[in-house]
Amino acid sequence: MADNDLRASLLAQLVARIAALQSAGDQHHPAGLFPSLRWKTALGYRREDSNGFFTSLIVFTLREIQGQLPATSQAVVDSIAAKARAIYPLYQSKSGLDTYNFYPPRPGQHFPHGYLLHRSRHFAAPDDLDSTSLAYLAYPRPAAQNQWLKAKLQAHANTVKGWASTGPAAFRHKKIYSAWFGERMPIDMDASTLSNGLLWVVRSGLPLNEFDEDSLAFINWVITSGEYRRRPLDVSAYYATAPLIAYHVGRLLAEADLPPLAEARATLLRELPALLAESPHFMDKILAATTLRRLGADAPPLLAAGWTLAELEARSRGLYSCIAPLLNYYPQTRWLAGWRLSQIDWECPAHSLTLLAEYLALGGR
């Protein structure tokens, strides 16, 4: 079978499988949600999880590649997006504003289906930039709503709401957006979260201001300094691996020609081939290769000609796409946040398959 035929066949199978993983509604997951798992292998910890974050990522990514899919698969993506829209009222701010939470806030359902963490309000996080910007990217909003959210971002940014007490010292007095909207959460600078938020800003056509410029400067430094490789937890605590950080920054780089990120683009194009070769996990290689292709560079083939959907699905498992460094939330305990046993990992099988579909749609092989 020719490469193009094989790619089209695998894409159709992947999209169909993703659709089959979307919840029809059960005791763990509302209808329209893509189920995920939170786990910590070393502790034997594994729980069903019902967050809205992965559903937004999946819908947004599938819509981005929709034009490269077979016609029947394009219709499946429309169906997935229509079903997923129903979950958003569950994750909307408990105050009724148009921001979103990782978990349903009304009533609070943080760390569901477990035994301990959901009992403490200490672990109930406020609405966040990641969940909100990805929801807006998955389902674009009118101009007035985008302008409102931009103003809210600024109201919670560093130097406005407060001052960062952690993160790179050179940026603690810069006007950088925080990962959180909550009043009691400390200012938190995360390069991957900022990349998703600024992708929304650029996609929405909102003019860039000094907050955007300082946030872009931080992202550029994270990549060009090599900190995304050496100390990923310090610069992107909720993603914290070099392939994941590069993937999210690369998506912003591909969106528009942003002069403050020119050095970051050159650095990723130079460093990603080695990162791809060194990464032991198949899905980390997919992330690196996708980012290279997104930035206009080639990448070595990662799929064998005879691989079936079942083979791909088996290889896609085990990628954690975000983490919760539980000791990172407050400055008093952040010095312990690098202790891996304190970090909870999230995996979403449908999102991993979506990443494979994206890789193929961008010409991967």
Tens digit of pLDDT for each residue in 195-214?
Answer: 999 999 999 999 999 999 99
Q: Tell me how far CA of residue 8 lies from CA of 75, 241, 286, 313, 334, in angstroms.
A: 15, 31, 18, 17, 46
What pLDDT, on a 0 to 100 scale, did the predictor assign at position 353?
98
The upper half-sphere exposure of residue 152, i.e. CA atoms within 13 Å in the direction of its Cβ, equals: 21
- Find tokens 């079978």 and name the residue: 1
Low-confidence residues of the chain, pLDDT below 70?
1-2, 42-43, 45, 107-125, 323-343
Residue 82, class by beta-carbon neighbours within 10 Å (0-12 exposed, 13-18 middle, 19+ buried)? exposed
Distance between CA 324 and CA 237 in Å, rounded?
A: 8
Q: Which two tokens stand for residue 202?
A: 């650029």
- Residue count of the chain, please give it: 365
* 232, amino acid identity: P
Side-chain-facing half-sphere of 238: CA atoms under 13 Å: 21
pLDDT of residue 2: 61
Domain boundaries, the chain: 1-122+301-318+349-365
> For the chain, how are helix, strand and coil distributed in percent, rounded to 5?
55, 5, 35
Global pTM?
A: 0.93
Q: pLDDT value at position 112?
A: 61
* pLDDT score recorded for residue 285: 98
Across 123-146, b (16+ Cβ under 10 Å) vs e yields bbbbbbbbbbbbbbbbeebeeeeb
> What pLDDT, on the 0 to 100 scale, is given for residue 186?
84
Alpha-carbon distance 80 to 157, whole Å?
34
Using CA atoms, how far apart are residues 146 and 151, in angstroms rounded to an integer? 9
Cα 276 from Cα 357, distance rounded (Å): 18
